[in-house]
Structure formats: C-alpha cells, structure tokens
Structure 1
Amino acid sequence: MPSSDSSAVLVTGVGITSAIGHGAGDFIAALLEGKRNFAVMKRPGRQCAAGDEPATRFIGAEIPSFSPPEGLPAGILRTASLSGQVALATLHEAWRDARLTDVDPVRIGLVVGGSNVQQRELSRAHESYRERPQFLRPTYGLSFMDSDISGMCSEVFGIKGFAYTLGGASASGQLAAIHAVQSVASGQVDVCIALGALMDLSHWECQGLRSLGAMGSDEFADQPQLACRPFDRRTDGFIFGESCGAVVVERAGAARRAGVGSYARVAGWAMRMDANRNPNPSFEGEVSVMRQALNNAGFDPASIDYVNPHGTGSKLGDATEVKAIEEVGLKHAYINTTKSLIGHGLSAAGASELVATLLQMRARRLHPCGNLEQPIDDSCNWVRVQPVDHAIQRAVKISLGFSGINCAMCLEAS
C-alpha cells in the first residue's frame, strides 16, 4: 500500500518528554549524542527508610527541571500529578505538530497507554493524610482512577470523539498506538492520538520489582551511569526511566492541513498473548507476533533495515528476544536500544521508543547504544558507541509486557 493511497495510515505528529530531553528536537539531539541521565533517584517517595536495615538505593533516570509549556490551564496543572502534567505537556507538542486545532473535535480520539500510573502521588497522599483522612484533597477521588489522565487531556484539548486508557504493562504504549491505528483505519475517527503515560513509581513498586528480580542494579549500585545495559553480558536487570511519548495517526486522505507532514506509514501490526500471568518471555510468542506483523504489512524480513527492540536488560528476556529476531530473519537489520539511554519507561516505553524510531527515520541517523560493551550476541548488527548515518526505509518496533503480552509494529518511510 503506497503512502499516497488515501486509506494509508500515517503518523503526522509526535510529542516526547524524557530524562534526556523535552520535545522532539532536544530528544533526538540527545539520543544521537548518546546522552544519559542515570542516578540514584531523588524524587520524594521514591526511596524509603528501612529501619535497622540499609535501604535499597533505587537507580533510575528522572526528568530534570520539568515545567509545563505556556498555554495550559494553571488550575488543572495545579491539581495534576507529575504523570498528568507530563501527559499534558507531551500531548501539547504532538497536538501542535499535527495542527489538530483545525480538526473537528468529534472526529478525534485518544488512547492513553498505561493503568495505575500515579502510584507515587497516591502513596504520598496516604502517608500525608494517614492521621487526618478527613482533610484529604477532593481531587484524590479522581486521581486514583485510570480515567483521570485521559479525562484531563480530553478536557484541556477539547477531544470529543473518545478517550480511554489501555493497560498492557510495559507494552501499554505500543498497544495504545495499535488501537489508535485500528480506530483510524476503521473510520471510527479521522485522527487518533496514542499516549504512553509516565508511570510514576513509588518506593513500593520499586521494591516489588527489585524483589521480583526484574529491576537492577546490584553490580552497579555505586556507578549508576553504567547500570542500564540492555543486551550486554553484564546486565542485572532493567533500570527505570521517566518518559512519556505521544503519536498522532490519521488516514492519508484526512491529512491535508497546511504544514502537516508525515513521519512514516504504519504498514502492519500484531498483538498476541502467551496465556501466562508471569513475567517470563516466550520465544514462540515473540516469533509469532513479529511474523504476523510482517505478513500484515506485506514485508519480506529481508526488506527490514532497522529494529527497535524491547530489550530491557533482563538476562532471560534479552536472550529470548535476540533468538526470536534471528528466527524471524531480522539479524541483518540495524539494531539499537533506546532504553539504554532513557531507561525503561514501563507503560510509556513502547510509545517513547516509537517516537525515537520515527525521529531517527526523519534524521536519517541511528542513535548509539549505551553500555553495550559485551553484546550477548556479536553477530547482530548493533549500533555501538557512535551514531550511524542510515536512512531507515522499513522498521520493526517490538514491545513486550508482563502477563505474556507481545506486540509488534511495522513502519515504512513515507
């Protein structure tokens, strides 16, 4: 399906907020520079006292000096959580990029990827009002619900088509993008925004993920910049990173507003479950979902020249994904890992990495990998410590989540 076909689904806008850059321009510049911002996390509610035992020092990449852009309503921002403020700022960029002010609000939809994303805010409220619950702020009655961020965004931007949240663990952001594409392709709306919400972890979630063996790092506890190392032999778990990404998708026939361009065509997608509650990966599931996405796009694996993998830094997960990429016939394609620079955004990861893929397509350059010193498989076509000049023609983006969730998306330069 050529991009000139009026039924082709195009990405016409992006927004991004991350620990290494706010906005698309700063973000792609930081990616290509290989910039990282990992440290012991300092946001209130992220670390906890442990009595007589030494407290675990949780490492991550936190967004520095964040302030929402001008023009957003001060009253809403004042009562919004960090997740809500970042969602509004990120959507604001994507909205302006795609010039959605000129679109009928009834024909715009919004899918927010991520559920239970405001944990730190709620945990701090519990601690602050434990002895005086009658003084709990009224907005708590909104913020504990998954509809809070989608409702806030729909109010601020006047979205009247539909708006809802979609929970899919670490695959939430890309699942939101898939649902947005399906909504546009089916004609339910003309334009749909997918937003991967910032998952604001408290010390409870950090400890739970450490206890599960998913979150690192013990080996690099005193060297935070070295801790995040997907696909490297010395990894010992994922490293959290605050981020939020948004993409605007619409049919080519609808994208006729002055000044609106296309980042890429969404050529194919697929989602598959492993029938498994647990976090362990499935080689069969990953192979199947990539093959299905390629088949739906009509792409031969040999035509793919770039893969943006899920790779978190899990020893078992990374090894399984590399084997799946080889099985599908994609090892020849360039591979880099966005998480190595921005950390694992959990609910936001798929959307933030989708934005990173689209910006690399536009820049015609691929960002380096952080800390990829001893790859678990030297035969892959890794982008190492330096950026690579390369005009992506066809890309595959993979996202995986706890509870056996697998999804993949194929993009084509437009």
Structure 2
Amino acid sequence: MTRRPVVISAAAVLNALAEDLDDFGRALAAGRSAISAADEHVPSAAHTAAGAFLDGFDLREWAARHLDDEAARTLVRAARRCALPAQTAACVAVRALRAAELDADLLAPTSVLVAGSNLALGYQHRVAVAFEQGRAPQPSHALVHMDIDVVGAVGDATGCRGEGWCLGASAASGTLALIQATRMIRGGDIDRCLVIGPCCELGPAELRALSDAGALAGPDDADPTHVCRPFDTARRGFVPGQGAAAVLLESADSLADRAGSMLARIVGVGVRLDGRRGMDPALPGQISAMRSALADAGLSADSVDYVNAHAAGTRAGDACEAEAIHTVFGTGPLVNSTKELIGHGMGAAGVQETVATVLQLRNGFCHPNPNLTDPCHPGVRFVGPRTVRGDLTTAIKNAVGVSGISAAIVLTTEEAPCGP
C-alpha cells in the first residue's frame, strides 16, 4: 500500500512567551525566557522553584485581541464554562484553523486529537478544597473535570466533526498524538487532523510529588531564570510551563487540492517502550525510537541538521538523552531544548516544541539555551548560550514519557518528499 505524504499546513501557539507564531519565532531566536519565580502562582507546600505561567489569561480578552466579533462570540460561548486546558485548546484550535483558511466543507470532516491526560488537576484541586469547606461544585463540574471536555469545547468552537479523542502518554503525549495523526492520514483513514496540546494545569500535590521524586526543581535562592538548565552539569530538575499549541496535519494531496501552503512535512515517526514502570530513563528505547523514525523516513543520521531534544533539565533524563543522541548522530546535528525558554508543558510539550522546531527550520536558526554553560556530554553539538544561524532543512523531535515511552518524529521543510 502506498503511503500518503503528510504535511503541516497550519499551527498556533499560546504560552507565557508568545500568543502568535511570529512573536514566538522572534522570542526563540532571541533566546528570551518566560520563566519566573513560582511563589505567586503555587502554594509554598508545592516545593516549586520556578515556572512559565499564563499570568492573567482571560478567554474574552484573548478572543478580542485575536478574532473578529463573530468568531470571538462563538469561542467564548463554547469555552467560557471550561477549565483552563479546554479554554486554551479552543483558542489555539480556532487560530490554527483560521490560518489554514478551510472552507466549511473541508472544516466539518476534520478530526481532532487532544494530547494529554489528567489535564485539569489544578482546577480539580480548587474544587475539592471548596467542597471540603462546604461549597458544592457547579453542575458544570460533571463535565468540566473530564479530559474529554477539551474535545467537546474544540468541536463547539470550530465545527470539526470528524473523529476525535484524547491520547495520554505523559510528557510524550503531544508527540504521540502527532504520530497517531500521521499514521491515520498516511493510511487513508482521514484527510486531515487537528492535533492540540492544551495547557496542562498541575495541582500542588502533583508538583510536590514531582519535586520530592527529584524530577522538578524545588525552591532555593537561585535566580528563577537560571533554574531550568537542560543538558548543563548544574541542572537540578524541570520547571512547569503553562502553554498550548495546535498543529493541522493533512495529506499532501488534500493540501494541493485546496491550493494551500505547507509549513513542513512529517516524514518519519518512531515509538518504543522500555517494558517497565517508573520514572527512570532507559537508553535502548530512546536510541531505538530515533532510529525507527529515521528508517521510517528513509534517511540516514547524517541527513539531520537539528535535534529538538526532550531535555527538561533533570539529572538522569538529560544524561540519558544526550548519550542516546550521541549514539545515533555522533557530533553531527545541532541540539537544543525549548523547555529552557517556555518550561515543561507536560502533554502539550511535544506540540509546542514541534511548532518551535518548524519555526527554526523555516527561519534558519537554532535558538540558544542561555543557561547551558557547562555541557554534560562532550560528544554532542549543543547550541549553547548563543543563537546559531544556518541552512537547516531536516530535524528530529524527541519526546520521553514516564513508564518507558520514547517517541521521535522527523520533520523537513523540503518541498519534495524525502521519505518513502
């Protein structure tokens, strides 16, 4: 069976760094960080040093800034009673589809795939506290507490009526969602799919557990902008990042039929399990996922110009990924981590970072990691504190989730297909 080529035709972002693609690209190129102290955003008991937070996000205000009156009313009506994950998902969904300029006949059959699970834990914590204090939840809580409310809000705001569901794979959710959509389009099951990474709202109990487990950077006296240090020997854990992104995938034939424009192609995908439970990374699965994605794309390792790493700034995770990258690529491609600038978006990370990867490929740069001053691996070509400019066409995006999930996708901005 012949595989149908898959393209990215539109995208949108909403995070602490930017609200549109142009601003996001400029912020990345400048190496600007959205990370700040966490003490105004989470209780001290959460033991969280820093994060990138959507300060003062308001659905109506966002809609007024970015949409015409009719579209703004539709969005607000659809999502006003929702929790933050569904509201941010609806925002980026509407923005991406408007950028694609789909007519009603093409919009209606578009499928929706939402990345992540346990998305509204912060909201659920607040409801539980209020309930213990004697305040009953709103009847809408029956729907709002469920992840599937995100799919409903997106459908209500956009009119998409194709297939739709949530896909959970912890921090690998976004990349796995892109992989699943790619496979469905390749196989002819659907023509296009909107993949959305909603803002993941962790609760204080989850933040505290991640801190106590050694994954999240706990409080200290350091400058909060220096806490997140992917691949640096002084790294001590990840910082949370609130943000959402949407990417529209479609078959190349579908794009050509409607005379649309391509942002990039997804030409290779790979997923592997370590076959165990837990938070510790494993080298074989990460190596195998990257090699599987390259084989799927029909490319050799030396064809890759750039690796957008999963690297969150954890001690064990970054060391393992650096060794995996070195094993697969040697010192060839440039390597950076977008999490230093926007924090760890959890289920949304893979979608946000895929958008960041595409922007870097299209604009010929790799964003800096300003806190990377003492690299943990001498055999990897890290970007470091300064932006690197160059002719970049092909990249691999890594993702790693707990309980041994490794995933990778190969992207290219070349017009001609470079895979089977």
Pick the TM interval, shorter chain: over 0.9
Q: Contact (CA 8 Å) 2:4, 2:187: kept in 1 or not?
A: no
Counterpart Cα distance in 1 of 2:15 and 2:28: 11
Farther-moved stretch of structure 1 (242-251 vs 99-108): 99-108
Farther-moved stretch of structure 1 (77-86 vs 366-375): 77-86
Determine which of 108, 125, 128 is the counterpart of 2:127.
125
Q: SS of the counterpart of 2:103?
A: helix
Q: Which runs of 5+ in 2 are unaligned?
A: 416-420
Determine which of 14, 21, 25 is the counterpart of 1:28.
25
Q: SS of the counterpart of 2:238?
A: coil
**Which residue of 2 is the match for residue 368 of structure 1?**
368
Q: SS of the counterpart of 1:254?
A: helix
Q: Contact (CA 8 Å) 2:78, 2:156: kept in 1 or not?
A: no
**Which residue of 1 is the match for residue 96 of structure 2?**
94
**What are the superposed Cα offsets for residues 162-194 of structure 1, whole Å, 9 maximum, x if unpaired?**
110000000000111111111211222211011
Cα 1:175/1:253, change in 2 over 3 Å:
same
**Which residue of 2 is the match for residue 174 of structure 1?**
175
Cα 1:330/1:248, change in 2 over 3 Å:
farther
**Which residue of 1 is the match for residue 245 of structure 2?**
245
1:15-414 residue pairs with structure 2 within 5 A?
15-41=12-38, 46-48=42-44, 56-67=47-58, 68-69=62-63, 70=67, 71-72=71-72, 73=74, 74-133=76-135, 135-218=136-219, 220-256=220-256, 260-413=260-413, 414=415
**What are the superposed Cα offsets for residues 382-406 of structure 1, whole Å, 9 maximum, x if unpaired?**
2122212123221111100001101
Cα 1:169/1:147, change in 2 over 3 Å:
same
Q: SS of the counterpart of 2:397?
A: strand
Q: SS of the counterpart of 1:255?
A: helix
| Segments of 4+ moved more than 4 angstroms | none
Cα 1:312/1:203, change in 2 over 3 Å:
same
Question: Could you tell me which amino acid in structure 2 is paired with residue 63 of structure 1?
Answer: L
Counterpart Cα distance in 1 of 2:225 and 2:183: 39
**What are the superposed Cα offsets for residues 114-144 of structure 1, whole Å, 9 maximum, x if unpaired?**
01110111111111232435x3201110122
Q: Contact (CA 8 Å) 1:57, 1:221: kept in 2 or not?
A: no
Q: Contact (CA 8 Å) 1:230, 1:318: kept in 2 or not?
A: yes
Q: Contact (CA 8 Å) 1:47, 1:58: kept in 2 or not?
A: no
Report percent identity of matched pairs.
31
Q: Contact (CA 8 Å) 1:6, 1:251: kept in 2 or not?
A: no
Determine which of 1, 5, 9 is the counterpart of 2:6.
9
Cα 1:258/1:65, change in 2 over 3 Å:
farther
Counterpart Cα distance in 2 of 1:372 and 1:195: 30
Question: Could you tell me which amino acid in structure 1 is paired with residue 392 of structure 2?
Answer: I
Counterpart Cα distance in 2 of 1:8 and 1:243: 29
1:244: how far off? 1.1
| RMSD across aligned positions (CA) | 1.9
Q: Contact (CA 8 Å) 2:47, 2:207: kept in 1 or not?
A: no
Question: Could you tell me which amino acid in structure 1 is paired with residue 112 of structure 2?
Answer: L
Aligned residue pairs total 402
Counterpart Cα distance in 2 of 1:318 and 1:255: 38
Counterpart Cα distance in 1 of 2:18 and 2:330: 30
Question: Could you tell me which amino acid in structure 1 is paired with residue 89 of structure 2?
Answer: A
Cα 1:187/1:259, change in 2 over 3 Å:
closer
Counterpart Cα distance in 2 of 1:106 and 1:56: 45
Question: Could you tell me which amino acid in structure 2 is paired with residue 250 of structure 1?
Answer: E
**Which residue of 1 is the match for residue 418 of structure 2?**
none
Counterpart Cα distance in 2 of 1:56 and 1:292: 38
Counterpart Cα distance in 1 of 2:94 and 2:398: 26
Cα 1:96/1:391, change in 2 over 3 Å:
farther
